[in-house]
Amino acid sequence: MGEDLAGWRNLVTGFCEDRLAAQGMVCDWAIHHRAADDQRPAILPHVHMIITTRVYDPGHVDVGKVRQAWLRTDRARKALAEDWWEHVGMVPPAYALAA
């Protein structure tokens, strides 16, 4: 797992390239984290991703098409989340308890 900002950037970039851009999708992301201080609690590092449903890669066979099944179902979103958790080597505690 990424221990610092550069490590998280590498994790996110690698995941987006391997799992999303490789399928022709575009992904934008932001890493959020904050150290605790006297005024505010810590925010553990985490990422927010915005992922297209239309293929934008001009070299991809589906360029310009909307992939109807791409992340539209709970099952598809859960599978992507599980891929992320495997990629970073951690599972959220609430999910671990429910499984």
CATH number for the domain harbouring residue 59: 3.30.930.30
Q: What pLDDT, on a 0 to 100 scale, did the predictor assign at position 58?
A: 83
Residues 61-73 have pLDDT tens digits of: 888 888 767 777 8
Task: Say whether 24 sits in a helix, a strand or coil.
Answer: coil
d(CA 90, CA 8): 13
Whole-number pLDDT of residue 95: 67
Distance, in Å, from the CA atom of 41 to the CA atom of 34, rounded to the nearest integer, reads 8
What are the residue ranges in the chain where pLDDT is below 50? none
Range of the structural domain that residue 35 is part of: 5-88
In a domain? residue 99? no
d(CA 5, CA 8): 5
Cα within 13 Å of Cα(20), Cβ side:
26
Whether residue 97 is contained in a domain is answered as no
Position 2 scores a pLDDT of 53
What is the DSSP secondary structure assignment for residue 6, as one 8-state letter? H
**Residue 65 counted as domain residue:** yes
Close Cβ partners of 32 (under 8 Å, ≥ 6 residues apart) = 43, 45, 46, 47, 48
Q: Which two tokens stand for residue 61?
A: 């066979």
Of the chain, the end-to-end C-alpha distance in Å amounts to: 22
Task: Count how many domains the chain has.
Answer: 1
